[in-house]
Amino acid sequence: MNNIDLENRVVVITGGAQGIGFAIGERVDQSGGTVVIWDRNEDVARKSATQLSDRSVAMPVDVTDFQSVEKAAEEVEKKFGRIDGLVNSAGITGPVKPTVDYAIEEWSKVIDISLTGTFNTCRHVVPFMMKRNYGRIVNISSVAGKEGNPNIAAYSAAKAGVLGFTKSLGKELAKTGIAVNAITPGTANTPLLTGLTPEFIEYMRVRIPRDRFVDLKEIASMVAWLLSEENSFTTAATFDLSGGRTTY
């Protein structure tokens, strides 16, 4: 494992209680950073934080709630005096079904968590980063956001929206010391898979030239570098983790 210097950096990770978010938290912690887990599942979030070093903390936050995110950002700033990094990992796939069978409530829930939640966190964290002219934001998108997977239209649309939002925000902040990037992982073995059918999971696997799902540690490695001070030039970009499925 390469050494990534995140010493004394405070990094907020949404959906950090499990899956991709927690794997990133582990790598940040190993790199000397302070992990702040934002997750609506308070019990799981606190349990996950205890698995990291005693620098780490957990906060119950609903990323779809504008006021909840605003309050949490203020609490982090007050407690640590800074927010150096933000990883937007909170998201859900939603139901696997044709678009014509989607209920508006199902569509809205996926968009609210995966896309609007990303806006909410950036909206409240960026001002604190701007105060110090430094910050690193990594938004977790998906291969589905590039290609559009059938029968998960809301998730595909939300993750495509995350890419567009990342490019926009990155360009807005390009003349500052804040970098905003996204990653597009292929399928990984995370709790998100529990909501998918075995047939759909196999549909995704066979489209990966490496013929396997991405390992969570592989995702965390890329994100750790994107969160580091070394990532000083690249912004508004998308980094691929698809095992060769998407080459654009």
Q: What is the pLDDT of residue 207?
A: 84
Residues annotated as part of the active site: 155
Q: What is the pLDDT of residue 211?
A: 82
- Average pLDDT of span 229-240: 97
- Average pLDDT of span 94-98: 94
Whether 4 is covered by a domain: the verdict is no
Q: What is the pLDDT of residue 192?
A: 67
Whether 245 is covered by a domain: the verdict is no
Share of the chain above pLDDT 70, in %: 99
Question: Based on the structure, what is the number of domains in the chain?
Answer: 1
- Average pLDDT of span 98-125: 98
**In this model, does residue 11 exceed pLDDT 90?**
yes
36: domain CATH number is 3.40.50.720
Question: Residue 246's pLDDT band (boundaries 50, 70, 90)?
Answer: confident
d(CA 222, CA 84): 17
Q: What is the pLDDT of residue 187?
A: 82
Whether 123 is covered by a domain: the verdict is yes
Instruction: Say which residue, 229 or 188, is predicted with more confidence.
Output: 229
Q: What is the pLDDT of residue 111?
A: 98
- The region of weakest confidence among 81-90, 115-124, 182-191 is 182-191
For residues 30-64, one letter each, b for 16 or more C-beta atoms within 10 angstroms of the residue's C-beta and e for the rest, the string is bbebbbbbbbbeeebbbebbeebeebbbbbebbbb
Whether 200 is covered by a domain: the verdict is yes
Whether 247 is covered by a domain: the verdict is no
Question: Residue 117's pLDDT band (boundaries 50, 70, 90)?
Answer: very high
Q: Which residues span the domain enclosing 121? A: 10-240
* pTM (global) more than 0.85: yes
Strands (E) in 33-82, as ranges, are 34-39, 57-60
Whether 2 is covered by a domain: the verdict is no
Residue range 152-199, pLDDT digits in tens: 999 999 999 999 999 999 999 999 999 999 999 988 877 767 777 788
**In this model, does residue 104 exceed pLDDT 80?**
yes
Query: Residue type for 70, please?
Result: E
Q: What is the pLDDT of residue 194?
A: 72
Whether 1 is covered by a domain: the verdict is no
Mean pLDDT of the chain, nearest integer: 95
Whether 17 is covered by a domain: the verdict is yes
Q: In what order do the strands lie in the sheet with 135-140?
A: 57-60, 34-39, 10-14, 85-88, 135-140, 178-185, 237-241
